[in-house]
C-alpha cells in the first residue's frame, strides 16, 4: 500500500497472516466492508449518490455511485488503489470540514452533518485503513457491524 506521497506503507499486521489465510477470508471481508460502507452512508443519511454529487459540486475526485453500490453489495471484485485514496479523500474532507463550494443547499446540509468513518482507536480512517478492512486485516468498527 502507498500513502499520498507515494511511499510504501507496510502495517505491522501484514506479517501476522499468510497469503493463503488472506485469500480464504477475502470474500467475507469484502462483504463486511461493503456492509460497513452502507451502514456509514445510512448513518449519515446519505443516498448512494450523495458522495459523488458532493465531489462533483466541490471539484474533487471520489468513488462513483456505481462503484460504491458494487462495494456495498460485496460484488466489486478487486478495488484498485485509487478507490482507497478516494475514500480517504472523502473521509478526510469530512473530518477537516473541508466541504468546498455548494450550489445545492440540501446537499450542503447532508455533507456538513456527516461524520467521517473510523474506529475508536483511529477516528478518521485513511487509505491504508480502508484497504486493511477490505482485505480483512482490520475489523469493521463496532458501530458499523
Phi, psi for 126 (deg, rounded to 5): -110, -175
Residue in the structure block whose three cell numbers are 471481508: 29
- Give the count of alpha carbons within 13 A of 111, CB side only: 28
Quote the pTM value.
Answer: 0.83
Read off the pLDDT of each residue in 111-140 and give the average, rounded to a whole number.
95
Per-residue pLDDT of 4-15, as tens digits, reads 555 545 555 555
Q: Give residue limits of the domains in the chain.
A: 23-144
Distance CA 31, CA 135 (A): 10
The contacts of residue 22 (CB under 8 Å, 6+ apart) are 135, 136, 137
Burial class (CB in 10 A: 0-12, 13-18, 19+), 99: middle
Residue 34: how many CB atoms within 10 A of its CB? Answer: 20
Helix (H) or strand (E) holding 31: helix 19-43
Mean pLDDT (the chain, rounded): 88
13-60: pLDDT as tens digits: 555 677 787 777 888 999 999 999 999 999 999 999 999 999 999 999
Amino acid at each position: 500500500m502507498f500513502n499520498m506521497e507515494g511511499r510504501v506503507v507496510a502495517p505491522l499486521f501484514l506479517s501476522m497472516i499468510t497469503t493463503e489465510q488472506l485469500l480464504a477470508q477475502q470474500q467475507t471481508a469484502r462483504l463486511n466492508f461493503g456492509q460497513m460502507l452502507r451502514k456509514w452512508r445510512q448513518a449519515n443519511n446519505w443516498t448512494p449518490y450523495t458522495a459523488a454529487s458532493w465531489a462533483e459540486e466541490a471539484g474533487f475526485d471520489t468513488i462513483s455511485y456505481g462503484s460504491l453500490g458494487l462495494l456495498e453489495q460485496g460484488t466489486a471484485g478487486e478495488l484498485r488503489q485509487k478507490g482507497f485514496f478516494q475514500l480517504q479523500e472523502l473521509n478526510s474532507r469530512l473530518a477537516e470540514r473541508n466541504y468546498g463550494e455548494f450550489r445545492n443547499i440540501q446537499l450542503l446540509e447532508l455533507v456538513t452533518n456527516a461524520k467521517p468513518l473510523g474506529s475508536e482507536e483511529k477516528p478518521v480512517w485513511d487509505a491504508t485503513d480502508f484497504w486493511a478492512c477490505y482485505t480483512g486485516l482490520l475489523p469493521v468498527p463496532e458501530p458499523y457491524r
